Structure 1
C-alpha cells in the first residue's frame, strides 16, 4: 500500500460520481428553470396585453381595428406555442386546452370581456402550475423609483406620466398615459412589471433588463400610483388602519396580481381605495405580515381546499410552504420550551404531505389538518406564555448557537488537531481561510436576508441540504485519508517518504472546503433562526438574546480548546483512528440531515418508517434518509476492510 495516495480508489470514484451528480442537480436545473421562467413570463406579458387591448379591437362580434385584432391573435398564438415548449407537468395538457380555447374565441371574434376573462384564467393557471415569481421579494422603494423614472422614463412618458414627454411626439403607438383610468383599471402591477422587464415588441417601449429586479418592481408600483389623488390615499390609509383589506390584499403577491377593476368587483370602491394606498405604501404590508403560526394555519387551510378541489400538486406545495415559511421559523424557540411538541408537530406535518402524495381521501387529509391545527394551538399557548420572557430569550439564544455550532466545532477541532499534531502548521491557513470565508459569507447572508430580499424556506432547505451532502463527501475523503495512516508502519513510511507530514494540495483544499461548508451551513440556519428570535423577543428581550450568543460562543470556544488539548496526548495511531472515526460519523450525520433538508424543501419524497428519531445524529424516521445513511455505512465498511487488507499485506512485506 502506498501511503501517499490521497484516498482509496473506490472512495475516489464514489466521490467523483457524487460531485458530478451534485453539479448536475445544481447547475442543469437552474439553467433550464431560468429559461423556462423567461418563456412563461413572456406568455404572461402577452396575455396581459390581450386581456386589456382585445376588448378595444373587437366590439359586438366585429373587428373595430384590424391591425390591433391581428396583433392580439398573434399574441395568443405565440403564447400557445410557448406553453407547449414549457417543461412537462401533469397539469400542462389542461393548460394547453385552455390556451387553444382562448385562440378559438379570438378566431370567433368573441366578446371582449369573455376573451379577457379566459386570458386571465390561463395566466393564473400558468403562475400556479409553474410557480412563477409574481411578487417583489421586499416592499419596493418608491422614492428610488422617482429618481429612476425621472432619469429613464420622462422623455417618453412625461414628468407626470401622461405620455406627453418631449420624445413622445410622433411615436406610434403613443407612450402609455398612466392617468388613463379606463386602461389602468385593467392593468395589474404584475402586468406593469412585465412590461418594464420585457418591453413591448413593435413599439418604442424597450425592455429595461439592465435595471435590477427591485427597481423594475418599484417603477411598476410608481406607475400604479400616478393617477391616485391625495384625498383617496388618505381615505385608503384610514380604511387599512381599521382593518379593511387585510384578508384580500394582505400580501405583496395579492396586491400585485389583482387589477384595480378586479379589486373593485371583489370589495367595492372602499377596497379599491385601500389598494391604491397600499400601492403607494407597500411597506405597510411588510409590517403587517402574519405571525409564523398564523401563516401556517392559513396555508394548511389553503392546502386542504386545493386538495378538495382535486389539485393535489397545489395542495402539496401549500403544505410545504406551511412548514417552511411558517412553523419552521419558530421551531428553535419551541424546541427550547417543549421539544416533544415540536417533534410531534413536525412529524404530523410530514404525514400530511405523505397523505397528499399517496392520494388519501379528502376526509383523511382534513382530519390530518385538524390534528396539526390542534398541535399548533398548543404550540401557540406554550410560546405565548414563555417565549418573550427574559429567561426564555436567553436560553433560546444560547441553545440555538450551541446546538448549531457543535457540529462545526467538532469537525474544525479534529482537523486543526491533526495538522498541529503532525507538525504541519502551514496547513492551518487553508483551514482558517475556509471558516473565515464562511463567517464573512454568513454576515453577507444576514445583510441580504434582512435588507435586500427574503430567503424563502425552500431556498434555505435546499442550501442546507446540498451543502450538507457536499460536506459529507469531503468528510469521507479526509476521514479515509486519516484512517490509512492509523497503522504505525504506514505512518512511518509516510514520514520517511515526505520527511515531514506533507499534505497534498488536493487534501489541503478538501480540508479548506470542509472548514467552509461545516461553518457556513450552520451559520446560514443560525442567521434565519436569530431573525425570528429577535422579532419574538421584542426590544426588551434583545439584551438577553445577545447575552445568549456571547455565552454560547464562550462555551463553543472552551469545547474546541478541550478537544485540541486532549487530542494532543493521544499516540499517533489511536489519534488518527479516533479522528477518522469522528469525521466519518459526522459524514453520516450530514447525509441524514442533508436528505431531511431536501425532503423539507419538497425536492425529495419522504416515506415514514418505523424507526427512532435522533435529529442530533441525523437520524430521521423516513425510508429515504435511512437508506442514504445505510448506503454511506456500507461504503465506509467496504473501504475500511479494503484498507485493512492493504495494511496487512504491506506489513507482511
Structure 2
C-alpha cells in the first residue's frame, strides 16, 4: 500500500504542478477564460491512460500462463524504464519547466486553432505522467493481492490533488526540490525491485535460464511471507532466496542509477522551489 501511495503522490504532484503553473499563468495574463479548455486536455489524458491500462489488463487475463509471465516481465521492464526516466527527467526539467510551459502556452494560444493547441499541449503534458502511473500500477498489481495497492494509489492521488490545490492557492509551501529528490531515491529502489521481479518472470516464461543458482538463502532469518519480509517484498521486490541473475541485475541497475541521480547538479539554474510560486 505504501509504494503505490508514494508513487501516485509523486506523480500526482508532478501533474498538479504542471496544471497549476498553466492555470496560474493564464490567470496572471488575463486569459482565465481558457481554463475549461485546460480541463478538457486533462480529462482526455486521464481517459486515454485509463483505456490503455484497461486494455492491457484485459489482454493479460486472456493469455495462457507462459504468455502472462512474458507480459508481466514486459510490463515490469517498461515500468522500470518509465520510473527511471521520470526521476531523471524531473531532476533536469524542474529547473526550467515553468518558463518552458509559459512559452508553450503562448505558442498554443497564438495560432489559428488556439483552443485545440492548448488542449494538445495539456494533453501531452498530463498524459506523460498518467501513462507512467498506469504502467507502474500494472506492474505493482501483478505482484499484489487484495485491494491494498489500489487503496494506496487512490489515497496518493487524493493527497496530491490537495497538495496541488494548496500550492496553486498559495497557502501551502512545500520544498519541492527536497520532495522530488528523496522520492526519486525511493523510486529507484522500487524500480530495482521491479527489474529483479521481471528477470524472475522471464525465467518462468523460459526466456532466461542463465545464472539461476541461488545466490543466498536467508529465509530462516527473514522469510518472504513474514511480516517484515512481506512489507519489503511489496515495497522493494525483496526475496529471501534470490538467484544470481536477480542479484546481479539489481545492483547493476541500482548502484549506477543512485550515483548519477545523487551527483550534484550543475549550478546556475533555477531551483524547482521557485516553481511553487506559480
Please indicate the TM-score interval, normalised by the length of the shorter structure. Answer: 0.5 to 0.7
Post-superposition offset of 1:474: 1.1
1:416 to 2:19 alignment: no
Deviation string, structure 1 residues 527-550 (Cα, Å, up to 9, x no partner):
xx7xxxxxxxxxxxxxxxxxx75x
Residue in 1 aligned with 2:133? 515
1:586 to 2:182 alignment: no
Distance in structure 1 (CA, Å) of the matches to 2:257 and 2:149:
33
Distance in structure 2 (CA, Å) of the matches to 1:564 and 1:523:
22
Distance in structure 2 (CA, Å) of the matches to 1:484 and 1:459:
37
* Structure of higher RCO (CA pairs closer than 8 Å, 6+ residues apart): 2
**Which ranges in structure 1 are unaligned for 5 or more consecutive residues?**
1-402, 450-454, 530-547
1:597 to 2:201 alignment: yes
Distance in structure 2 (CA, Å) of the matches to 1:555 and 1:411:
9
Residue in 2 aligned with 1:577? 181
Distance in structure 1 (CA, Å) of the matches to 2:21 and 2:51:
20
Post-superposition offset of 1:459: 1.7
Q: Structure 1 residues 573 and 623 mapped into 2: Cα distance closer, same or farther (>3 Å)?
A: same
What is the alpha-carbon root mean square deviation over aligned residues?
Answer: 3.8
Report the secondary structure of 1:499's partner residue: helix
2:53 to 431, 438, 449: 438
Post-superposition offset of 1:578: 3.4
Distance in structure 2 (CA, Å) of the matches to 1:558 and 1:504:
24
Distance in structure 1 (CA, Å) of the matches to 2:163 and 2:101:
27
Distance in structure 2 (CA, Å) of the matches to 1:424 and 1:608:
50
Post-superposition offset of 1:650: 5.1
Post-superposition offset of 1:417: 1.6
Distance in structure 2 (CA, Å) of the matches to 1:579 and 1:499:
26
Deviation string, structure 1 residues 270-320 (Cα, Å, up to 9, x no partner):
xxxxxxxxxxxxxxxxxxxxxxxxxxxxxxxxxxxxxxxxxxxxxxxxxxx
Report the secondary structure of 2:267's partner residue: helix
Post-superposition offset of 1:522: 4.7
For residues 189-588 of structure 1, the aligned pairs below 5 Å read: 407-422=3-18, 423=20, 428=42, 429-443=44-58, 445-446=60-61, 449=62, 455-484=63-92, 491=95, 493-499=96-102, 510-522=128-140, 556-562=153-159, 564-565=161-162, 569=172, 570-588=174-192
Residue in 2 aligned with 1:608? 214
For the 8 Å contact 1:469–1:590, the answer to whether it is kept is yes
Q: Which has the larger radius of gyration?
A: 1
Post-superposition offset of 1:630: 0.9
Residue in 1 aligned with 2:247? 626
Q: Structure 1 residues 599 and 484 mapped into 2: Cα distance closer, same or farther (>3 Å)?
A: same
TM-score, normalised relative to structure 2: 0.59
Distance in structure 1 (CA, Å) of the matches to 2:248 and 2:104:
37
Distance in structure 2 (CA, Å) of the matches to 1:501 and 1:609:
51
Distance in structure 2 (CA, Å) of the matches to 1:559 and 1:505:
21
Deviation string, structure 1 residues 101-124 (Cα, Å, up to 9, x no partner):
xxxxxxxxxxxxxxxxxxxxxxxx
Distance in structure 2 (CA, Å) of the matches to 1:505 and 1:496:
18
Q: Structure 1 residues 436 and 519 mapped into 2: Cα distance closer, same or farther (>3 Å)?
A: farther
Deviation string, structure 1 residues 501-530 (Cα, Å, up to 9, x no partner):
98899876643432332233455677xx7x
Deviation string, structure 1 residues 177-212 (Cα, Å, up to 9, x no partner):
xxxxxxxxxxxxxxxxxxxxxxxxxxxxxxxxxxxx
For the 8 Å contact 1:435–1:519, the answer to whether it is kept is no
**Which ranges in structure 2 are unaligned for 5 or more consecutive residues?**
23-37, 106-120, 219-223, 225-231, 271-278
Q: Would you say how many aligned residue pairs link Structure 1 and Structure 2?
A: 212
Q: Structure 1 residues 522 and 634 mapped into 2: Cα distance closer, same or farther (>3 Å)?
A: closer
Post-superposition offset of 1:593: 1.6
1:647 to 2:269 alignment: no
Post-superposition offset of 1:435: 3.3
Post-superposition offset of 1:473: 0.8
Deviation string, structure 1 residues 95-151 (Cα, Å, up to 9, x no partner):
xxxxxxxxxxxxxxxxxxxxxxxxxxxxxxxxxxxxxxxxxxxxxxxxxxxxxxxxx
Post-superposition offset of 1:634: 2.7
Q: Structure 1 residues 552 and 507 mapped into 2: Cα distance closer, same or farther (>3 Å)?
A: closer
Post-superposition offset of 1:571: 2.1
Distance in structure 2 (CA, Å) of the matches to 1:635 and 1:506:
30
TM-score, normalised relative to structure 1: 0.28
Distance in structure 1 (CA, Å) of the matches to 2:194 and 2:74:
10
Q: Structure 1 residues 628 and 435 mapped into 2: Cα distance closer, same or farther (>3 Å)?
A: farther
For the 8 Å contact 1:479–1:580, the answer to whether it is kept is yes
Q: Structure 1 residues 560 and 515 mapped into 2: Cα distance closer, same or farther (>3 Å)?
A: closer
